[in-house]
Amino acid sequence: MSIHREGYKILIYGLLILILINIITGILIGDRILFRWVAGFITVIMYLFLLFFFRLPVRHIEPDPGLVYAPADGKVVVIEETMETEYFNDVRLQVSIFMSPLNMHSNRYPVSGKIKYVKYHPGNYMVAWHPKSSELNERSTIVIETESGKEVLVRQVAGAVARRIVTYAKPSQNVRQGDELGFIKFGSRVDVFLPPATDIEIPILMQVKANKSIIARI
């Protein structure tokens, strides 16, 4: 277990702000020791939450071209055929995973292959489970072509709290299943668009983990 690099700056600034809050609180409340302890306890809990949010567990996998792993931790909120209009312009099988602020927010490549398409879209900040969030929210779309020629689209979608999507994928890059795709800060979802004939291995509302849960077979 380690701390994700995307959290370094926030953790440093957060620590300085919380120290400042404690100093100001100490000045304002004077000698009331109980209130100082309460303020200190609350700020420590807040900082521990930040550390917990930016955790980066070690999850190694052996790539398997026949499997699609979950790209994120969270709850499966969508399994359905849907028209994908940004890249495929046809019907695909969509699997969406909602990440609460308590989930690990590092996103992983669900398959190995070559990056065919990467595009970032600024947008709104609807709640991540809203059906239109995949089309209207801030989002980043990545398409991976597997060795067998099948294309898998992964879409990082910001939620009502998230304000920054980080995507590491670059066009024409060869990527390995399980490696880090990116990171979304504070509450969000990840959509995976698969070929229509894909065999889904998970039920709706199941809790899944990136690099641990197999969501489909292709």
Rounded CA separation 108/181 (Å):
5
What is the tens place of the pLDDT at every residue in 18-69? 999 888 888 887 777 888 788 889 999 999 999 998 999 999 999 999 999 9
* Catalytic site residue from 106, 140, 188, 213: 188
Asked if residues 159 and 187 have their Cβ atoms less than 8 Å apart, the reply is: yes
- Name which residue leads in pLDDT, 108 or 136: 108
Is 188 designated active site?
yes
CA 56 to chain centre: 12
> So what's the pLDDT on residue 84?
95
Convert the pLDDT of each residue in 156-206 to its tens digit: 998 766 567 899 999 999 999 999 999 988 768 999 999 998 999 999 999
Map out the domains of the chain as residue ranges.
2-56, 67-217
Q: Which CATH architecture has domain 67-217?
A: Distorted Sandwich (2.70)
Decide if 159 contacts 189 (C-beta within 8 A). Answer: yes
Cβ proximity of 71 and 181 under 8 Å: yes
